[in-house]
Structure 1
Amino acid sequence: MLSGTVAAIERFGVFVALDEGPAHPVFPGVGFISVPELSWQRFDAPSDVVRVGQRVSCEFLQFDTWNLEARLSLRAMRPDPFQAFADRVPVGRELRGRVTELVPFGAFVELADGVEGLVHVRELAGPSVEDPAEAVRVGDEVTVVVTEIDRERRRLGLSQRRAAGGAPAPRTV
């Protein structure tokens, strides 16, 4: 574990001034956290997770010999919520979740903090849905059934069609 202070936030990651760590020829004690290593949860920008001047403790991943900096992970300091979810939820379980994103091939549904799964377009409720927006909208609360858990790739397959109450909650205007 390495500790330091967030020195700069860029769209591609975060630079950390390390208290101790591998020497850097120009910037001694510099570490870098790439965007995927910032958090298990979904976020829009690195500044949603950390701020300049914030103290952080990170897991050391490797020394980047090209950029001469320590590669770090902030998310490795916390348990993986996907693995905890997979330990307690079996395939076939019906759950409620919130639609977080629509993509051409389906909809992502958040089932727990940091845990999302994909409802493929063919598994959305309704007669022959071709566009996910025909069946659901971002923010809809939906009932889904867990159809697949891939621990290695951290992927959940979901079906709204197989759920008893798979339709989104009625909208109020």
Structure 2
Amino acid sequence: MRAVQVGDIVSGTVTHVGRPRGAAVKLDGRLGLVSADIGPLDVSWGHRSDEAVQVGRRVTAEVIDVDDERKGIGLSLAATENPELWAFLKGLRPGDVLSGEVADIQRFGVFVRLEDGPPHPVNPFHPWAVS
């Protein structure tokens, strides 16, 4: 799978939508032979999942994982919908200190409205809550 690397932008068609997996995508060209998924947290930060991915919909996403052993590719639709935010988040490093306010608490985690960086959804499961 040397034809694709983390950070590449690829396109394809959604072939399956399901929980908890997110969505399966048949990529264009030679990559169409490789399994590709958009995980549930990477579907969309600005649209409800059922609006963002539907079987038959064409998508453009960033490659966030290449698993040679599994022969699979992990994709993020959210990365291509929010390139400025994605670039900001990728630039963060362990130990960076950011300021913010707790915006939402769920049983699986806490969402923080950051003071730094571009506007962002405070909880990707509730996209109407954008700071």
CA contact (8 A) 1:2 1:20 kept: no
Q: Between the two proteins, what is the percent identity of the paired residues?
A: 29
Within 1, Cα distance between the matches of 2:22 and 2:12? Answer: 15
* Residue of structure 2 in register with 1:17 after alignment: 26
CA contact (8 A) 2:104 2:122 kept: no
Within 2, Cα distance between the matches of 1:108 and 1:30? Answer: 31
Q: Of the two structures, which has the highest relative contact order with CA contacts closer than 8 Å and spacing of 6 or more?
A: 2
1:76, distance to aligned residue in structure 2 (A): 1.1
- What letter corresponds to residue 38 of structure 1 in structure 2? V
Structure number with the higher helix fraction is 2
Which blocks of at least 5 consecutive residues in structure 2 are unaligned?
A: 1-8, 90-98, 124-131
Within 1, Cα distance between the matches of 2:66 and 2:105? Answer: 37
* Residue of structure 2 in register with 1:115 after alignment: 121
Within 2, Cα distance between the matches of 1:47 and 1:3? Answer: 19
CA deviation map 1:139-158 (0-9, x unaligned) = xxxxxxxxxxxxxxxxxxxx
Structure 2 counterpart SS, 1:40: coil
* Residue of structure 2 in register with 1:61 after alignment: 64
Structure number with the higher strand fraction is 1
CA contact (8 A) 2:34 2:71 kept: no
CA deviation map 1:45-71 (0-9, x unaligned) = x32421111000111122223432211
> How many residues align structurally?
99
Within 1, Cα distance between the matches of 2:27 and 2:15? Answer: 9
Within 2, Cα distance between the matches of 1:42 and 1:62? Answer: 23
Structure 2 counterpart SS, 1:63: strand
Query: Which of 71, 75, 78 is the equivalent residue of 1:72?
Result: 75
Structure 2 counterpart SS, 1:36: helix
Structure 2 counterpart SS, 1:116: coil
TM-score (norm 1): 0.42
**CA 1:20 to 1:65, structure 2 compared with 1: closer, same or farther past 3 Å?**
same
**CA 1:101 to 1:70, structure 2 compared with 1: closer, same or farther past 3 Å?**
same
Asked if residue 7 in structure 1 is aligned to residue 12 in structure 2, the reply is: no
* Residue of structure 1 in register with 2:36 after alignment: 31
- What letter corresponds to residue 61 of structure 1 in structure 2? I
CA deviation map 1:125-167 (0-9, x unaligned) = xxxxxxxxxxxxxxxxxxxxxxxxxxxxxxxxxxxxxxxxxxx
Which blocks of at least 5 consecutive residues in structure 1 are unaligned?
A: 85-90, 93-99, 118-173
1:21, distance to aligned residue in structure 2 (A): 4.8
Structure ID, larger Rg:
1
Within 1, Cα distance between the matches of 2:27 and 2:74? Answer: 11
Considering only aligned residues, what root-mean-square deviation do their CA atoms show, in Å?
3.8
